[in-house]
Amino acid sequence: MKITNTFITIAEDSKTRQGTVPPHKDGPRTLARLHFDLLEAHPYEYTIDDLNFTVHALKNGIDREDVAARAAFLSKGHPCMRASPLTKTYGFGAHYNHAGKIAIYPADSVAYHKFLKDPEVRVEKAMRNRRAVETA
């Protein structure tokens, strides 16, 4: 399923209300850092499939042009930006344009708030970090 014209807001239980760049850590880059580096440097160049496979290839030393590896990887389901640490933890919204390509926007930016008000864009929340506590 291709996601288009959709804006993913930060998770309702996110601890931040502004975009925070994921930190560099010793060792391999984290998923959050990979998502940030790729989407910050290349807005609207990656679909979710492109992004997920690129991250997989970088983490596992696979050639990003390997068609068979990409097909094998994409034969299984993978999460969308609703599950990305950028939208869940680091205060970034993710916009899928009409072609399904993604760009990120800090929650404290003017662009983020414009997407919230745009009638042409479907708005969805990022997944919560924790399960909601049921009240009985």
Q: Tell me: the pLDDT tens digits for 50-74?
A: 999 999 999 999 999 999 999 999 9
Angle at 128 between CA 36 and CA 14, to 5 degrees: 60
What is the residue-averaged pLDDT of the chain?
Answer: 92
Helix (H, G, I), strand (E, B) or coil at 124: strand
Q: Tell me: the pLDDT tens digits for 76-88?
A: 988 899 999 999 9
Domain ranges of the chain: 6-20+27-125
Q: Tell me: the pLDDT tens digits for 78-120?
A: 889 999 999 999 999 999 999 999 999 999 999 999 999 999 9
Length of the chain: 136
| Burial class of 7 by CB neighbour count within 10 A (0 to 12, 13 to 18, 19+) | buried
Instruction: In the chain, count H helices and then E strands.
Output: 5, 5
Instruction: State how far the alpha carbon of 48 is from the alpha carbons of 44, 108, 117, in Å.
Output: 10, 24, 24
What is the per-residue burial (b if ≥16 Cβ within 10 Å, else e) of 104-124?
bbbbeeeebeebeeeeebeeb
pLDDT range class, residue 136, cuts 50, 70, 90: very low
Give the integer Cα–Cα distance in Å for 96 and 47: 8
Residue 68 neighbours by CB distance under 10 Å: 7
In the block, which residue shows the tokens 């344009």?
Answer: 97
Model confidence, pTM: 0.90
Give the integer Cα–Cα distance in Å for 80 and 136: 32
